[in-house]
């Protein structure tokens, strides 16, 4: 390994000794966690739980950098550099071996963490790997919001064989909805998020309809009690296809998505909307994967 490049990798391993870390800015942490994650995957240095920890930490750092005002193009360039460096570091490098050991030590207890909160600007994601029942046991990653009719929940819920992107409308009238759709920015039509600086509400972070794509719920049913919030007697659950979760994961954490409940009517459909912050959905999803 080129000895002149060794200090850069040494700095990386120093900052990766724990999570969350506060010794460097989020842009630096994103670069470093991405670099070591790529090198670790290529050289098979880490157990799955550690790989998931690095992935979650890197995605959380990227979200923090965006919320701190770092230009998305700057982060994209940093990610490309980190991946390029991670693909070229020799697997037998002594510096990489030291980095890997420090990462293992820093994240050794990560797989035993059962719950974690991922704060956003307006709402949090709460993750539960299935240990202590800190909230409804069917939810693995959840964000809640309110509509004029009542509370709605959104996230990943347990289904046979894994998790599915799920929305629950926790009011009796929701069962009258014939379906639901999830509306979000289409990166093929709009490369960057629409963020209205004049507004502080989540509606100011949704894109124009002309640059969106929608995902129709693939399943509709009465909500099981384990999916309902405390105090709710009934509600409707809507499941979305896996492609919707991957699309949500790729969005800017600062933007928002819209859940539309569709009610049949004689003339035209009636739609009730609930808005959710994208936030650190990607980091929360990576956190869940560490238990597998």
Tokens of 55: 């992935």
The whole-number pLDDT of residue 267 equals 74
DSSP label at residue 126: E
pLDDT band per the 50, 70, 90 thresholds, residue 174: very high
For residue 246, which of 165, 191, 130, 180 has the smallest C-alpha distance?
165
- pTM: predicted TM-score of the whole model, two decimal places: 0.84
Q: Per-residue pLDDT tens for 114-168?
A: 889 999 999 999 999 875 444 446 999 999 999 889 999 999 999 988 899 999 9
pLDDT band per the 50, 70, 90 thresholds, residue 24: low
Q: What does the CA dihedral 56, 57, 58, 60 come to, rounded to 10 degrees?
A: 80
Do the beta carbons of residue 208 and residue 136 sit within 8 Å?
no
d(Cα 65, Cα 69) in Å, to the nearest integer?
Answer: 7
At 159, which helix (H) or strand (E)?
strand 150-159
Question: Who wins on pLDDT, 54 or 255?
Answer: 255
Do the beta carbons of residue 146 and residue 152 sit within 8 Å?
yes
CA 46 to chain centre: 22
Do the beta carbons of residue 103 and residue 40 sit within 8 Å?
yes
Query: What percent of the chain is modeled with pLDDT above 90?
Result: 59
The whole-number pLDDT of residue 22 equals 41
How many CB atoms sit inside 10 A of residue 181's CB? 17
């Amino acid at each position: 390994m080129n000895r002149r490049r060794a200090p850069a990798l040494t700095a990386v391993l120093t900052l990766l000794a724990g999570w969350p870390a506060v010794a460097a800015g989020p842009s630096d942490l994103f670069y470093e966690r991405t670099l070591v994650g790529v090198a670790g995957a290529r050289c098979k240095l880490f157990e799955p739980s550690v790989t998931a920890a690095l992935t979650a930490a890197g995605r959380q750092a990227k979200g923090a950098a965006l919320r701190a005002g770092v230009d998305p193009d700057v982060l994209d360039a940093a990610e490309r550099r980190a991946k390029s460096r991670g693909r070229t570091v020799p697997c037998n490098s002594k510096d990489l071996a030291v980095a890997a050991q420090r990462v293992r030590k820093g994240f050794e207890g990560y797989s035993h963490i059962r719950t974690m909160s991922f704060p956003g600007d307006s709402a949090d994601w709460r993750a539960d790997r299935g240990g202590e029942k800190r909230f409804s046991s069917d939810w693995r990653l959840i964000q809640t919001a309110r509509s004029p009719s009542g509370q709605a929940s959104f996230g990943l819920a347990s289904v046979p064989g894994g998790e599915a992107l799920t929305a629950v409308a926790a009011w009796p009238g929701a069962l009258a909805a014939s379906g639901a759709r999830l509306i979000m920015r289409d990166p093929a039509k709009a490369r960057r998020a629409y963020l209205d600086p004049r507004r502080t509400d989540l509606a100011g972070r949704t894109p124009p309809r002309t640059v969106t794509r929608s995902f129709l719920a693939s399943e509709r049913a009465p909500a099981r009690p384990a999916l309902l919030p405390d105090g709710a007697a009934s509600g409707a659950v809507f499941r979305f296809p896996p492609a919707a979760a991957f699309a949500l994961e790729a969005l800017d954490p600062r933007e928002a998505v819209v859940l539309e409940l569709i009610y049949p009517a004689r003339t035209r459909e009636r739609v009730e909307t609930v808005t959710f912050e994208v936030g650190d959905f990607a980091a929360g999803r990576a956190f869940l994967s560490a238990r597998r």
